[in-house]
Amino acid sequence: MRSPTLTPAATTEALITAEPVAGRSLWQDARSRFFRNRAATGGLIVLILVGLFATFGQYFAAWSNEEVDWNMLGNVAELGAPNLANGHYFGVDELGRDLFARVVQGTRISLMVGIIGALVAVIIGTLYGATAGYLGGRLDNIMMRIVDILMSIPYMFVLILLLVVFGRSLFMLFLGIGLISWLDMARIARGQTLSIKNKEFVEAAVATGVRPLTIILRHIVPNLLGVVIVYATLLVPSMIIYESFISFLGLGVQEPNTSWGALINDGASQMQYGTLWQLLYPLFFFCITLFAFFFVGDGLRDALDPKDR
């Protein structure tokens, strides 16, 4: 027995009464793809835990980062090992200061340098590259030749020179890192802008008389967010490595402040006395944070890649 055939009117009525299919935006799809990546999800969890450690770790420290335990001086190799009973969870350094409190402070400063340096580089580089790519012509050539000239200057030489000439401080460290680190972002943003500026929505904005600056800020830059976010997550570990290297040389963060690089330098100098924990604890946080940022960056790149949507 054949099923009854629906008339056109009945078919139309059935389509009208049917429940609409729920769609997903591109960002929802990217979020779903990201959380299906186990390495990226694990990296994100590690970053959250490290951020919590840097933010709230000081409230769990029994000693401050500058307080000296005089009972540990002169016998650090034997008595300075981690001990929960006396409140030195990570032990003490060669001066009798609590290593747990100093690792918390070093984690906070290193993350701050990495995140702020990457943020400054991304903002300047994105605006500079988007402006050069959209305006084009002679101005584009001049702006990109300036970038090429700056990229030919050794980055670490400029950073070390700034710290030596103008003094070693956190402000000069931020300034030196952010001064040239935006160059790669500018080239990336320019390349993406060249492929966007001839799209229909940009041409419609130009036809309606929208100013170029408004088009760059409202139409070009928002469409660069995917690339910008991915590059920012990969830029943060680079900033942390630069800061750690400068601090390892003794030109970065100065006492009483500290960072991962300074702590690793202090720990390496004490290895001959058998105090390995001074090196292992800051090195552990340094390594897991870098790997976590790399995994998150790779996960974001895969999730936001238009070719894979």
pLDDT in tens, 180-227: 788 888 888 888 888 888 888 888 888 888 888 888 888 888 888 778
Q: In the predicted model, what is the mean pLDDT of residues 225-232?
A: 80
> What percentage of the chain reaches a pLDDT higher than 70?
86
Q: In the predicted model, what is the mean pLDDT of residues 2-9?
A: 54
Distance, in Å, from the CA atom of 202 to the CA atom of 21, rounded to the nearest integer, reads 30
Q: In the predicted model, what is the mean pLDDT of residues 32-40?
A: 83
Give yes or no for a contact between 91 and 85, defined as CB atoms under 8 angstroms apart: no
Distance, in Å, from the CA atom of 107 to the CA atom of 55, rounded to the nearest integer, reads 9
Report whether pLDDT(116) > 90.
no
- 154-172: pLDDT as tens digits: 777 777 777 777 777 777 7
pLDDT tier at 78 (50, 70, 90 boundaries)?
low
Q: How far is CA 62 from the centre of its chain?
A: 30
Distance, in Å, from the CA atom of 103 to the CA atom of 29, rounded to the nearest integer, reads 38
Q: Which of 8-22, 222-236, 249-263, 283-297 has the lowest mean pLDDT?
A: 8-22
Stronger pLDDT, 180 or 14, i.e. the higher one? 180
**241 exposure class (CB count in 10 Å sphere: 0-12, 13-18, 19+):** middle
Stronger pLDDT, 19 or 139, i.e. the higher one? 139
Residue 17: per-residue pLDDT:
55
Q: In the predicted model, what is the mean pLDDT of residues 24-53?
A: 83
Structure token pair of residue 15 = 């389509």
Residue 309: per-residue pLDDT:
47
Structure token pair of residue 165 = 């000439």
Residue 308: per-residue pLDDT:
47
Give yes or no for a contact between 110 and 261, defined as CB atoms under 8 angstroms apart: yes
Distance, in Å, from the CA atom of 118 to the CA atom of 233, rounded to the nearest integer, reads 8
- 262-281: pLDDT as tens digits: 888 888 877 776 677 788 88
CB atoms within 10 A of CB 288: 15
CB atoms within 10 A of CB 151: 13
Phi, psi of 25 (to 5 degrees): -75, 170
Give yes or no for a contact between 29 and 309, defined as CB atoms under 8 angstroms apart: yes
Report whether pLDDT(251) > 70.
yes
Of the spans 2-11, 23-32, 199-208, 285-294, which averages the highest pLDDT?
Answer: 285-294
